[in-house]
Amino acid sequence: MKKEIILGQKYEVKPERFHRNMVGTAEKITNGGIIFRVESCELCDRETADAHNREITADYADVKQMVGETYFFS
């Protein structure tokens, strides 16, 4: 069962190419997954995010949870 993804909302996501979770805004849903605009990520993943113009495609299974405005990402 696929999770309901709301475009424009922020999610905590762990894409396959990333070492750690990141927070991104859902931009578009495609047959290949969900395209997220990276809002914040760990230092070890910044090069990967920047190499893809801060747009990452993730699977539904990579989505951990929706995050609110008060979510703290260190």
Q: What is the pLDDT of residue 36?
A: 97
Give Cβ neighbours of residue 63 (< 8 Å, ≥ 6 apart).
3, 5, 11, 12, 13, 34
User: Domain residues of the chain, as ranges?
Assistant: 10-66
Give Cβ neighbours of residue 9 (< 8 Å, ≥ 6 apart).
25, 26, 66
For 25-54, what is each residue's pLDDT tens digit?
999 999 989 999 999 999 999 999 999 999
| Whole-angstrom distance, CA of residue 43 vs CA of residue 1 | 33
Report the percentage of the chain scoring pLDDT > 70.
88
